[in-house]
Copies of this chain bind each other. A is one copy, B any other.
Amino acid sequence: MDARELEKIKKLFQPEVIAVVGASKDPKKVGGSIVKNILANGFKGRVYAVNPTAREIMGVPSYPSLKDIPDKIDHVVVSVPADKVLDVIEEAGKLGVPVASIITAGFKETGRADLENKLVETARKYGLRILGPNIFGVVYTPANLNATFGPEKVLPGKIAFLTQSGALGIALMAWTAMEGIGLSSIVSLGNMSDLDMVDLGEFFAEDPNTRVITMYIEGIATGRGKSFIEVYKKITKKKPVIALKAGRSERGTKAIASHTGSLAGSDNVYEAAFKQAGILRANDVQELFDWAKALASLEKVDVKGEGFVILTNGGGIGVMATDASVFSGLPLLDMPEDLKAELRKHMPWFGSAANPVDLTGQAKAENYAGAFQALLKHPSVSGVVVLYCEVAFLDPVELAKSLIETHKQYNGAGKPVVVAMVGGERTREALKLLDANGIPSYPIPERAVKSIATVYRYSQYLSRNQ
């Protein structure tokens, strides 16, 4: 993609001026909900509405048509009935608008490929790029932009999420916010009449606000397979990409065909494409964001040292994490004597300085901090898996604060660190605090281990390819 086209896509996410065509005063209607969401997130650019009768909508100046807007529009959001969309695109094209997101449904997905083709033809004539139709919109948190009819609030962060499923995408907007997963962007791909995951990937590869690209996909458009592989081969050398591809089974593939009307193609083809392109493949939504969270916690993925260390206050979860490490290919460090000696200072005599390092159930926050510091500082240690079972005399929030403090002070090297804490409400609070402070944390040891193993796997991929 040349720089000019990339510049157009940029306007989708960082418009100075956005116009919502089909805006409504009713926030329960799609065209009202979009305006409400744009305003609620404190978008810094200028906003206009297009509505046949209104003079203003929620305080936003409203005009009868795009051409009446006395400003240079960067991004047009289209939310008018399907039979009116073509006129809007024609008008936007004439005005030289670079990009449009078309919310409206009722095109290819309901058998009206003819209508959709006309849209694309018209847009091409003017060099206007289209996202959609049949989408729920676009979120870009660095610009405080939420031009969707989904939930109002999205947690800002470094993960971009592209989704071919509308319902899932909207549900995940709320889910990620609740789970403390920060996003730079959410993009509803819809029918991909023009822009698709290949074009958007090129944008996010260059986007300084995005560290990890994630996607839920059901199928790549016919004829785009080769570009997909070529473009993502380049992207994955800069940033990790994780895909969740539905239709892994034959029956699943058939289900896609029946609900999108498109041929999904055998899963083997996708598996091979992901492999060729260096894309990490997650098995479900939880894994997708578990991994993304761990990868997004690092400014630069570059694993050094000789192996990872598990630090725990419970023997049982230490063993389970050991199992998970072995099965997910995470190399565990054979502990050097000097490190063992240092660690022994932070545990009772019946603790263990082997790997897993067992501080025992008597461990206090300062014991964790001391051992954690020793691990962050030792050059043989590649990264740390911190585990904690909730016990009455070590408050998980206090422990979280101490880990955050130590991490800030001693992790200049940017070693990957994950935390898993098993416990009740207070533990949940501690996990949230860790996440909010950039330490990826999980309620189940195995999820933490698999996530840091993905960081390791990606780092290995980078070494092989640079």
Residues of chain A having any CB pair with chain B under 8 Å:
28, 33, 110, 149-151, 163-168, 170-175, 177-178, 216, 218, 244, 246-252, 255-256, 258-260, 283-286, 313-320, 322-327, 332, 350, 352, 354, 356, 358, 361, 389-393, 422-428, 443-447
Contact = CB atoms under 8 A, between A and B. Distances in A.
A316, A352, A444, A447 pick with most chain B CB within 10 angstroms: A316
A182 B165 CA distance: 34
Contact of A323 (B175, B249, B392): B249
A423 B444 CA distance: 20
B315 A167 contact: yes
B171 A391 contact: yes
B246 A323 contact: yes
Interface of A is mostly: helix
Nearest to A106: B350
- What is the copy number of this chain in the assembly? 2
Given A165-B316, A444-B284, A444-B285, A171 B423 contact: yes
Given A174-B390, A356-B255, A389-B171, A216 B316 contact: yes
A319 B251 CA distance: 8
A422 B171 contact: yes
Nearest to A149: B392
A323 to B, nearest CB: 4
B354 A390 contact: no
Contacts of A319: 218, 246-247, 252, 255-256, 259
A390 B177 CA distance: 13
Contact of A258 (B163, B260, B354): B354
